[in-house]
Structure 1
């Protein structure tokens, strides 16, 4: 079993894009490039809308002061609930018909923590087997009985492509 990295990358830009853009920003005076030139070059090379000017300057500062564009490790308390994930997963496999309340009691976890583990860490959702009552109540307020916890279905994401001019206006704003 492989160990997952605790810090997750949330940026929509790759390391390569960040480093190249940071170098372009750093050399912009030497190469007589404007911000529009940098944005156009970014769009042409990577086919992705360029980041805002402040982001580009931030990448330049990080690259030339620390030697990389990575964020510093975040301080703060780590999520304690992550240590319970394997136990919840094993509990689901062992007895999938337990109610949320019963499972929380057996595992010694608060129901809210168990819900967060199921929804966020295990990427699951509760599917009601009897759909006759689904139109009357919202999905948020359904009782956690008459159904099962199942893996969420991956939804398709829609990408919005912008033209170079729109991307330049967005990044200069």
Structure 2
């Protein structure tokens, strides 16, 4: 991780934001990201969480859509940045999850760079958050995800309360 990217994450205390590598390992993130979704904290893998962690179906009310998006996005990355490590990761997921295997074998490719998700947050309820992604320049293939609520609504107020509780 570049020091400047880490410095930015430290300043964004009021937003769930995190950086992933090509295999969707979370490399760094804001404390609010980890509070909103356990998968959004360093040491977790977004795709692995979706298919292998039983909490995923509670965290993602729209789990089926999230699962499809996760696989088609990973397939887009694999096509754009072939890497032996990514191939090994996919092979492990194919062994451990029949659902992942079926979705991977469907060969859907979609690189989603923006959108929205519903996230069930413990003690808060379901938040509707939009997101934007930013490819970080450099050979590492890292991507910055920033989630945010629509201004002035219930999700905005809930996210502000969560952020204030972390400070």
| Shorter-chain TM-score above 0.5 | no
TM-score (norm 2): 0.22
Structure 1 or 2, whichever has the larger Rg, is 1
TM-score (norm 1): 0.21
**By percentage of residues, which structure has more strand?**
2
